[in-house]
Structure 1
């Protein structure tokens, strides 16, 4: 995996993200009424099947606008423009998530729905099974570095998701509902492969944080090879949604 180019790693990351999250995201959206003929905004990493699913639901009279995330052109978030806005793994990556959340709410038309999905990343009690105590300690060390140094150093907030519910209420959504999807990732599953890709993409950051080259190689092996036997509690995905006022 280390020999792959940056572009190849980015494509792999998109594929693994979609495989790990799309089923839950689509099930969440499937419960929303009145999508036919509506305008929707889908924000977040590329590669997801959700925009395709939405286009099928809104039909020829509707529209689905897709964008990777912040910063967004002002016209994309014009006030009152959308019936549905979905943002996945976006708010946890911006410096002021509450401010962006308010912009998203303002871009909803009367009664429109906002759905935001972000991971709550925390390292405690994440290893369900490892080949050895030494491997378990290595994975736990990696997860602590990811949560406390690497993600904050890249501008992400691994704890934002737990504040999203209260922030959505403050931003003006009429009612707010949060569902939490807690997956289990075995070695070779999309979620585990995603972590392996990120180890390679940010290898220099992990080296600077104190992991050695041999330790990084072992982590990639543990996450990528199903025969390793590693099983993790994956990052819980908080899905927070609610409607804008009907006027």
Structure 2
């Protein structure tokens, strides 16, 4: 296994040291795991396969892979939420500053990771190069540039509040931290450019009623980036209103579009 190198302070927008991160990982697992498991399940029998789970978060995907007999290494910049003794290995790892852990890998999966990393294209190229012949790279990210998140609301003011939140998050707060809201739609072309074959993209979205994990994630986002939101003009009173709104069952918001893109390294390369 690679020698440990301390990557220094986290640069990720949603720091695992934040108390809100526990809820974040739980909500994301509830929202995204069914679609992710469907996509990974399409790759066939995973027993005995070497799998690298990048930016593993709370470890739900790593656990699912291990339960299917895969040999799994779960990595993250901060591994505090990755359980030990769950059937997979854990490595603290900086995807930007350190080499990809020793492969070759039959499967590499990264979910909601590369869209937050300015060096995303170079990282994808290195991940692709770490695949075994015939190995699959699975990149899943949210396309966040699309507005009109609010499908139903108790009043016009609540609908405007949700759109104001989205505009500040997507167009001001996250881009200042290196996020690219258009990245998800570009992954397919980038995989092709780096020689991956059989590239396939499936796009998924859902409606989230108030009180559901998807709606409550909005409040978690603001809680973790509270100072950034206030600096962008989203007042403490607006934040309190938002916290209440996302728990109102009369609110229904659209999820971001999840682009799940799979590409394979050619056999014999």
RMSD, aligned α-carbons: 1.8
Q: Report deviation, 1:8.
A: 2.6
Report what 2:115 is aligned to: 92
Report what 1:10 is aligned to: 21
Q: Report deviation, 1:44.
A: 2.1
Report what 1:42 is aligned to: 53
> Match for 1:216 among 231, 239, 259?
239
Q: Report deviation, 1:152.
A: 0.5
Report what 2:259 is aligned to: 238
Q: Within 5 Å, give how 1:5-84 maps onto structure 2.
A: 7-57=18-68, 59=69, 62-68=70-76, 71-72=94-95, 74=98, 76-78=100-102, 80-84=103-107
In the alignment, the residues of structure 2 paired with residue 111 and residue 23 of structure 1 have an alpha-carbon distance, to the nearest angstrom, of 25
Q: Report deviation, 1:76.
A: 3.8
Report what 1:3 is aligned to: none
Check conservation: 2:202, 2:260, Cα contact below 8 A.
Answer: yes
Report what 2:88 is aligned to: none
1:162 aligned to 2:219?
A: no
Check conservation: 1:122, 1:143, Cα contact below 8 A.
Answer: no
Aligned length, in residue pairs: 237
Report what 1:116 is aligned to: 139
In the alignment, the residues of structure 1 paired with residue 19 and residue 208 of structure 2 have an alpha-carbon distance, to the nearest angstrom, of 23
- Equivalent residue of 2:137, what SS? strand
TM-score, normalised by the number of residues in structure 2: 0.83
Check conservation: 2:100, 2:126, Cα contact below 8 A.
Answer: no
TM-score, normalised by the number of residues in structure 1: 0.90
- Equivalent residue of 1:197, what SS? helix
- Equivalent residue of 1:176, what SS? strand
Unaligned runs of 5+ residues in structure 1 are: 1-5
In the alignment, the residues of structure 1 paired with residue 107 and residue 226 of structure 2 have an alpha-carbon distance, to the nearest angstrom, of 37
Check conservation: 2:139, 2:261, Cα contact below 8 A.
Answer: yes
Q: Report deviation, 1:211.
A: 1.3
In the alignment, the residues of structure 2 paired with residue 34 and residue 171 of structure 1 have an alpha-carbon distance, to the nearest angstrom, of 26
Q: Report deviation, 1:123.
A: 4.6
Q: 1:76 to 1:82 in 2, by over 3 A?
A: same
Unaligned runs of 5+ residues in structure 2 are: 1-16, 78-92
Q: Report deviation, 1:119.
A: 0.4
> Match for 2:157 among 115, 121, 134?
134
